[in-house]
Amino acid sequence: MKFTLGTEYGIRALIELAARYGDGPVPARAIATAQGIPLRFLEHQLAALHKAGIVDSQRGANGGAALARDPSEIRISEVIDALEGPLAPMYCLEPHDERCVQTHQCGVQELWMRVEDAVRTVFEQTTIADIATRHRELQPLLWPSLLTRATPQN
Whether 89 has a pLDDT exceeding 60, the answer reads no
Contact 49, 83 (CB under 8 A): yes
Whether 127 has a pLDDT exceeding 50, the answer reads yes
Domain boundaries, the chain: 5-150
Residue 95 or 52, more confident: 52
Residue 6 or 103, more confident: 6
pLDDT for res 95: 60
User: What is the pLDDT confidence band of residue 55, given thresholds at 50, 70 and 90?
Assistant: very high
Q: Which amino acid is at 51?
A: K
Q: Which among 84, 65, 86, 88 is positioned nearest to 14, based on CA atoms?
A: 65
pLDDT digits (tens, 9 = 90+) for 107-120: 777 787 888 889 88
pLDDT for res 147: 43
| CA–CA distance, 150 with 105 (Å, rounded to integer) | 52
Residue range 40-57: mean pLDDT, rounded: 95
Report the mean per-residue pLDDT for the chain: 83
Dihedral sign for Cα 128, 133, 135, 136, please. Answer: positive
Q: Is the pTM of this model over 0.85?
A: no
Whether 90 has a pLDDT exceeding 90, the answer reads no
| CA–CA distance, 10 with 95 (Å, rounded to integer) | 26
CB atoms within 10 A of CB 131: 19
Does the domain spanning 5-150 belong to CATH 3.30.450.190? no
| CA–CA distance, 64 with 115 (Å, rounded to integer) | 37
> What is the SS3 assignment for 75?
strand
- Considering the chain, what percentage of its residues have pLDDT values greater than 70? 77
